[in-house]
Amino acid sequence: MIETAVWHITAFYRFIPIEEAKIAPLRTEILGWMGERNMRGLVLVSCEGVNGTVAGTTESIEQFKTAMCDWVGTDDIRFKDSTSDVRPFRRLTVDVRKEIVTLKRPDLVPEITENSHLSPKEWHEMLSSENPPVLIDTRNTYETLTGKFKGAIDPQLKTFADWNTYLDNADLPKDQPVMIYCTGGIRCEKAIMAMHTRGFEKVYQLRDGILGYLAEYPNQLYEGDCYIFDERVGLDQNLQPSTKFGNCPGCGLTAEGLKECSICGKGYYMCPTCAEKWPPTCCKRCRDTWRQQEAKRKRAEAPKNQS
C-alpha cells in the first residue's frame, strides 16, 4: 500500500442484479484493478449487488467510483467518503458472497426506493418531534456499545441474521410508524423488507445511515461513536478515528479504555472479560513473549522459593 499521511476512504453499496456467470470475472477484474493502484479494503460481490469500503489516494478513490459504476452498469451508487491518518485496512480482499449483507434471506432483494428513506434532515426533524416514532437500532450488540441514537431500542443482536427472530418475538406496533437505522444504510434495506413481510405498514430508514447523519448533524441526537468494520474501529462525531474504542485482542469485540502494552508499549483496548485472563499485552505475539518472560522469571525464582 502507498504510504500516505492521509488515507482517503469511501464506503458504498448497491443492490442490483448481476448474472451468476459474471460474478467470478467481476471479482477478478476488481481485484486486479485495485491491486494495480495499491488500494486496499473489502469489496463483496453477489448476484444481488455489491458492497464495500476501500481506501487509497484521492485520485484512486475517484477513479474507483467511476469504475464501480461501470462494472455494475449504473451511476446510481451513493458513496460515503471520509479521511483518516490511521491506516484503515492491512490488505485488499474481494469476496464472492450469497448476500452482500447477511440476513440469511437471499430471497429478499431490495429495490432501492426513496419512499421509505429519510434524509438526515428529515430524520432529525422526525426524531426531534414531540412524539417521535419507535426507533430501532438494527446493528449488532458489539456495534451499539460504541454509541446509538438517543432513545433507540437495542435488540441485542449477535448477528444481523438474528433480526428475523427479534421481529418474531418483539412486541412492536405494526400499524404505527417505526424508524430503523444502521451504520451506512445497507442493513436497513433488508431489515425493512423483513418487517414488511411481517405486516409492518410504515417503516422508515435513515438514508446513508449513521455516517450520513453525522456528516450533517454532529453532536446532536446520535450519542457516542459509530462502530465501523476496519482498523479505525470507530468514528467520532466528526467522522474521525475514535480515541475511545478499539478491538479487544482477546475476543476481537469492542473494548473501551486505552491501555499500554507491557511488552512493546503500544496502546491497546481490552474488554473487562478478557482482562481477567489475558496478560497486559496488545496482541498474541506480545502475549506469548510475556508468557515466556513469566515462565523464565518463575524458573529463576524457584530455587529461592525452595530455600
**Active site residue ranges:** 182
Coil, strand, or helix at residue 88? coil
| DSSP at 120 | H
CB atoms closer than 10 angstroms to residue 276 = 9
Spatial distance between the Cα atoms of 10 and 61, rounded to a whole number of angstroms: 7
Nine-digit cell string for 154: 437495542
Mapping DSSP onto H, E and C, the string for 76-130 reads: CCEEEEEEECCCCCCCEEEEECCCCCCCCCCCCCCCCCHHHEECHHHHHHHHCCC
- Identify residue 202 by its one-letter amino acid code: K
Q: Are 209 and 183 in contact (CB under 8 A)?
A: yes
